[in-house]
Amino acid sequence: MSLPTEFLDQLRARVGLAEVIGARVRLVRRGRQFLGLCPFHGEKTPSFHVYEDHFHCFGCGAHGSLFDFVMLSESVGFRDAVERIAALAGMTVPEASPEARERERRRGSLFDAIEAASAYFHKMLRMPEGRPAAEYLRRRAVSEAAIERFRLGFAPDGRSALKSALARDGFTDEAMIEAGLLVAPEDAGRSSYDRFRARVMFPIADSRGRVVGFGGRLLESGEPKYLNSPETPLFHKGRMLYGLAHAAPAAAAAGTIIVVEGYMDVIGLAEAGWNNVVAPLGTALTDEQLQTLWRLAPEPVLLFDADAAGERAALRAAERALPLLHPGFGLRFANLMAAPGDDPDAAARRYPKQLLHRAIVEAAPLSEFLLMTATRQRRLNNAEDFAALEQRLNQYALEISDADARRQFQQTFRSRVRRAAFRGTGNIHAGAGTAMRAARRKGRGAEPPWAARASIGAPPAVAGANHADGAAARPAEWTLLAIMLNHPEFFHEVEDSFGAIAFTDFNLDQLRQAIVQALSGGETLDATRLADALAAAGQEECVADVLADPLIRTHRQIAPSAPLEQVRATWEENLAVVRNAALSPLSTATAGGLARLTRQRAAGSGGDDD
């Protein structure tokens, strides 16, 4: 039975998620969240995170709300979970009213009608009338296994084919109209008729796998090409995601969910082995759909068509997400790197699987996507151009409701723009960050539609970039710095090695020395207080550049939530790279920097000598 929304909201307000989970799991506070060992799989390193309104395990993918946790941990249904939580809060679960019981009965009959229609459409695909639909699916390389898995079907071209078939099974016109299967006549003297005719049918299921509506594609020319079920007691277009029931378990296992634009994209990627894929129902992503995606993964990957429409859809999704952002959650944007106009379905059939894998792995974070979008087709020749760009990016940041997330976006945008203005260059491939991105792009096709033309997306240009050893070591230097910035508690394990090494880049080595000075003063600093100390030392912009770099932002082994074992392994690996570079002759940048310091000290001055 359904329960009043007001009651469930009161229950959530009275009983904290950390309180319920903390009764079963030892939790340690980490900022605004809690961390502990996952109760759903055996692990020795904590990867189970508890936030204000949900939990997520980065080890096994377990994810959900207060009610989900009780359902999973105690193997009970939703109502039983509600009753147990209500007992903790001293609240009484309201009894269902006669009206509520009647609504449940009618919902049950609607589910039955929709299920009967789905079975009918699926059967008709195998009939002679369904041959055009079967041929269409064959041309689209849809296998028999996919037809069965997604229960694809065919709606015959007749005013009452479905109506007559379901009437024989005892369904009334009223039930079929309410389920969205028939269209009620405007003229009282005429009869109802089938909504879907001469279409390939795509059943749309809810998160539990129950069919609640349909999408239908015309086989002949005409409009609308795609037709969805209307709003019904079961079907709400703005809340549904095609393929959700199939994708949710795969998303939990993979740790991510992929969002495409259409039904055939979901099916095509599933045929290629990507099962964690969903699609909105022919419209821009809604707030409700974004919240559903975030319950599945903290950073859903948007993989839209490689055309102008796909670019516009991606930007609309980014703008829709901004007011909803909160720390730890965002979006990522993948570039198909395919022929213009290709969609994910076509790319999955035409290109090697590695292409899709690379596109998803290299998906740009939301902040980076907005930077690239804002700088595309934009000339950056003077102070006025940079000021206009900074104003546009700040408008994006101001859309973010969460203060912490808004501040981080503002800092990232401001730092990138001002670094680019300082360099006075419009070349996106400037600096060490470019070398790293160029290596990732090796063998790639066209740039994404939103590829930037200005240097905002790159980390700051650094001296000595032509020195081979310095260029090779620089990503490792950035990684070591990011570890210290995200995990200052790790400093005392590596104080000797971090204090003794010298970075090939002069500016980065200055930041390294400032970190050593701040953390070796005897006072224990967390990440926030370390950032304040470095800002006071004049290192604020360099810190922002390191943490805003796409490689650093997407490096899960050094993220603030990363387990110490992962951090330690990543540290050792990158420390070895830096030490190897140190054995080579001094880079031009470091040698020049040391010479300049020598001259300054000899002159008794801390300023430049020119």
Q: For the segment 157-174, what is each residue's pLDDT rounded down to a tens digit?
A: 999 999 999 999 999 999
* pLDDT greater at residue 421 or residue 383: 383
- How does DSSP assign 10-35, residue by residue? HHHHHS-HHHHHHTTS--EEETTEEE
pLDDT of 331 above 80? yes
Averaged confidence pLDDT in the chain? 82
Amino acid at site 4: P
Please report which confidence band the pLDDT of residue 136 belongs to, taking 50, 70 and 90 as the band edges.
very high
Please report which confidence band the pLDDT of residue 132 belongs to, taking 50, 70 and 90 as the band edges.
very high
The pLDDT value recorded for residue 529 is 86
Which residue's entry shows tokens 């020395």? 513
> Tens of pLDDT along 109-131?
899 999 999 999 999 999 999 99
pLDDT of 259 above 90? yes
Mean pLDDT of 31-60: 85
> Tens of pLDDT along 265-295?
999 999 999 999 999 998 899 999 998 898 8
> Tens of pLDDT along 162-217?
999 999 999 999 999 999 999 998 887 789 999 999 999 999 999 888 999 999 99
The pLDDT value recorded for residue 117 is 98
pLDDT of 153 above 50? yes
The pLDDT value recorded for residue 471 is 54
Percent of the chain scored above 90 by pLDDT?
Answer: 42
The pLDDT value recorded for residue 341 is 58
Kindly report the pTM of this predicted structure: 0.62
Which residue's entry shows tokens 């967390």? 526
**Strand stretches in 85-180, DSSP E:** 153-155
Percent of the chain scored above 70 by pLDDT?
Answer: 85
The pLDDT value recorded for residue 581 is 67
The pLDDT value recorded for residue 452 is 34
Mean pLDDT of 485-490: 92
Mean pLDDT of 319-335: 92
pLDDT of 354 above 60? yes
The pLDDT value recorded for residue 146 is 97
pLDDT of 264 above 90? yes
Could you give the CA distance from residue 610 to residue 593 in angstroms, rounded to a whole number? 14
What 559-563 contacts at long range (C-beta under 8 Å, 24+ apart), as own/partner pairs, is 559/486, 560/30, 560/31, 560/486, 560/487, 560/527, 561/30, 561/33, 561/35, 561/49, 561/58, 561/328, 562/486, 562/487, 563/45, 563/46, 563/47
**Kindly report the CA angle at 230 between 113 and 224, in degrees rounded to 5?**
115
**DSSP secondary structure letter of residue 400:** -
* pLDDT greater at residue 449 or residue 143: 143
> Tens of pLDDT along 422-465?
665 443 223 333 333 333 333 333 333 333 333 333 333 333 33
Could you give the CA distance from residue 522 to residue 206 in angstroms, rounded to a whole number? 56
CA-based nearest residue to 303, from 356, 254, 375: 356
Please report which confidence band the pLDDT of residue 9 belongs to, taking 50, 70 and 90 as the band edges.
confident
pLDDT of 391 above 90? yes
Mean pLDDT of 77-81: 86
